[in-house]
Structure 1
């Protein structure tokens, strides 16, 4: 099976919606309003300030990520990303492939580092993945995320140079 990570197209919006809306609604890993409409969620994920990609395996979109500058002005040399995969992608290396692609794309665009501002500490798979790709835990925000089942949990700031 062939995995292609490519720029998202308007025709991918339905597949992106299928992946991101359940994750947003669950409210366990992203600090986004769980009540966002499907249109608002896709507009956020594919906004003009970011490049959006999909992981396509034989015509089926299994994951998506966006890449943008973390900040404007003096912080614009640091990249930021968001990643989501569908449940059928779990344990198949899709997240890792997108992470590697994002690091390569960020370098191509001239970014010199990448920072994740708000990794929910209970998202163990994500934390483990980012650490395996060279990200350091550089900050902990105690109780900064209100998890729907676990209550207030820490959010992590993760960083790596490119």
Structure 2
């Protein structure tokens, strides 16, 4: 597996799993009826942010991550990132590779920390991965996310110092 900068043509490979994940409504607070253009505007970051893809040896996109400053101005020294892995590629280390890549990028870019603003508390796979990569839960906003099966659940604010 290799991680590289996303190019505009990658959106055609990202969109199917992006749309499926968003429509499932279990991990992202995006509108379920988002169209491809609106999804691209949310996911394909402009500088100083960036979007990357994880690809297999044949070049197939397995997952993607976007990263950049969490806020502008006086908050621009803290990074943030979001991740999506094609469900067909889950269990192959794609999320971990993208997470490690984002942490290394933020460290090299001089960010002081990486903050995740809204990790759904029922997303146990993501929670385990982020904890394994050194993130801690700073706070939980109770009932801030409407899960399609579990009802109202919390959103975690997570941080890793760099």
Counterpart in the other structure of 1:147: 147
Q: Equivalent residue for 1:125?
A: 125
4+ runs deviating over 6 angstroms: none
CA contact (8 A) 1:67 1:79 kept: yes
Tell me by how many angstroms 1:47 deviates.
3.3
- 2:56 corresponds to: 57
Structure 1 residue 48: Cα displacement: 2.2
What is the match of residue 137 of structure 1?
137
Unaligned runs of 5+ residues in structure 2 are none
Deviation for aligned residue 1:74: 1.4
| Aligned match of 2:87 | 87
The correspondence of residues 1-150 of structure 1 with structure 2, limited to 5 A, is 3-48=1-46, 50-58=49-57, 59-150=59-150
Tell me how far apart the structure 1 counterparts of residues 54 and 140 of structure 2 sit (CA, whole Å). Answer: 30
Aligned-pair distance for 1:141? 0.5
* 8 Å contact from structure 2 (residues 45, 66) kept in 1: no
Query: Is contact 1:137–1:157 with CA below 8 Å preserved after alignment?
Result: yes
Name the SS of the counterpart of 1:103 in structure 2: helix
| Cα RMSD, aligned residues only | 0.9
CA contact (8 A) 1:16 1:42 kept: no
Conserved in 2, the CA contact under 8 Å of 1:53 and 1:66? Answer: yes
TM-score between the two structures when normalised by the length of structure 1? 0.96
Relative to the length of structure 2, the TM-score reads 0.96
Q: What is the deviation of 1:79?
A: 0.4
User: What CA distance in whole angstroms lies between the structure 1 residues aligned with 2:4 and 2:93?
Assistant: 16
SS class of match (2:30): coil
SS in 1 for 2:20: helix
Q: What count of residue pairs does the alignment treat as equivalent?
A: 160
